[in-house]
Amino acid sequence: MVSGISRRGVWSAPFAGRNGRRVSAVCSALGALAVLSAGLAPGAAAADVQSQQWYLSAMKADEMWKVSTGKGVKVAVVDTGVNPNTPSLKGQVLVDEVPEAVGYKATEDYKGHGTSMAELIAGTGADDGLKGLAPGAKIVPYRIALTGLSKAEKKNAPTLGNVIRAIADSDAKIISMSFGGAIDFPDVRAAVKYAQSKGKLMIAATGNEAEGKNVIGYPASYPYVVGVAAADKSGTVGKFSNYGNYVDLASPGLDAPTWCDNTFRSYCNGQGTSQATAIASASAALIWSAHPDWTANQVLASLIDTAGRDWAKDDPSTYLGYGLIRPRKVLENSDFNPGPANTDPLAKENAAGVTDDPSDSPSTSASASSQPGKSTSGGQTSAAGASSDTSDDTTMWVALGAAATALLIGGSTFAVFRSRRGA
């Protein structure tokens, strides 16, 4: 196997699975930051949502919860807003901790996406809702502006850079960003650097465009941001999941249920690097809760050291980075050594610039170690165009406040499997 193009990692236990179906992706001429979930597909039978959360068994969540549930860790979810009133999130969302300056309608989720991510992280599972991987953690919600809002709301919505800075000045430890895009904005880059200086662990989706025009995604490709790819039950990366040298880890992202929409009546079965990012954020919360004195560097180093892979650690895969997250491997060893507190585990990637060179594609055997790392340059990258013939696309565009760009919430195919309330 050539590690640079490896498409498969190793879970704690093997699972038979499938690769991802096609995910629609559209990047505008202005550039897109992508929040990366899946879309809607008909035909699935009704079922209990928790029974569809295959990754809880794959990751041995029951065993991990004996050691840590994420208690004491606050995760900032930057997304479409978070509804704190779903059964699974009651008592889990710290509404009063959102700074007023960047808290415009943070608890009004008009797409259902942010609420889904919050439940994947810290849902209690009440009333047969989603069970979060870190049910003891708490969510601090932030909403950035998406299309579909009125012009007045867009004007009032905070910019991404300001949101990241506000979180950096808070006591939230983890910033979960299930979005990404093709434009490098200096203010966002500076905010990311500031958050890193304040000890935050930033985790972001790499993107769902790989079956079209694979693109370099921000904020995942910024230095100090952990880029997360999506994998299936067998540990194989989804066909839609963006690849490149800015992919740092992989996480469950296929057949992962989320809310179908903002009516919060039913869950849908979907796929995307959005879900993968939320689950990776929850994994970090579990570890940080068990080791509250660790730094963000040490939490990340432990995830990298224990990641499932069958390639050399110093030669990360362009598809799965350092491998599949396995927080259980950290939690089961109370004497785990996370390394130095001030050593950046991604120093190699952060030292050089990201590229979308065709040599990153699956048709080549280029080693990831020969490819430049995360971008350290300023300015902008050009937007990449992609199209899809998927008829049930639920792609949504997100405006960056006053900025003339967009954040993409990518849609692929969902299957409705349980109705929570009457239509």
Q: Give the bridge partners for 408, in sequence order.
A: 34, 397
One-letter amino acid for residue 174 of the chain:
I
Catalytic one of 113, 178, 184, 241: 113
Clarify whether 291 is annotated catalytic: no
Q: Give the bridge partners for 140, in sequence order.
A: 76
Helix (H, G, I), strand (E, B) or coil at 127: helix
Which token pair is 183? 């434009």
Catalytic one of 274, 283, 302, 388: 274
Clarify whether 344 is annotated catalytic: no
The residue among 33, 30, 86, 109 whose CA lies nearest residue 277 is 33
Catalytic one of 79, 232, 248, 393: 79
Clarify whether 274 is annotated catalytic: yes
Angle of helix 186-197 relative to helix 160-168, nearest 10 degrees? 10
137, exposed or middle or buried, with CB in 10 Å at 0-12, 13-18, 19+?
buried
Give whole-number Cα distances, 184 to 212, 217, 370, 381, in Å. 21, 9, 23, 6
Tokens 């880059």 found at: 189
Give whole-number Cα distances, 233 to 11, 56, 112, 210, in Å. 8, 11, 25, 19
Active site residues: 79, 113, 274
